[in-house]
Amino acid sequence: MTDAEPSAATHEALMAALPTTVDTLRRRRASEIPAGFIDAYVALQWLEWHGGGLRVTETGLNVCRQLKQRMAGESAETLSSVDDSDSDRRTDKGPR
């Protein structure tokens, strides 16, 4: 892959896979990351080469944090919608 910006679909796929990639790097298993992904992450400046190895950049860490926040928000929304639908089904028929 070149230094060109990836397509929106590719960008989303890379973003979704980034937490797994970071975990793979922490376990010192960089060889398990597809080469195309490594090139794309480096082009996005989410990973960088350092002393012959890969490491996550500050930008990459920020993307991971944003993903965690997004997932936490979606989980909260899902729980909220479940609570709302549960309360809609309940009627005042006395104590539960």
Is 33:49 a contact under the CB 8 Å cutoff? no
- What's the whole-model pTM score? 0.69
Q: How far apart are the first and last CA of the chain?
A: 60
**Is residue 41's pLDDT more than 90?**
yes
CA nearest 46: which of 61, 34, 31?
A: 61
**Is residue 81's pLDDT more than 70?**
no
Token pair listed for 58: 């500050």
Q: What is the pLDDT of residue 3?
A: 55
Q: What is the pLDDT of residue 9?
A: 82
d(CA 91, CA 87): 8
Q: What is the pLDDT of residue 84?
A: 54
**Is residue 88's pLDDT more than 50?**
no
90 against 61, higher pLDDT: 61
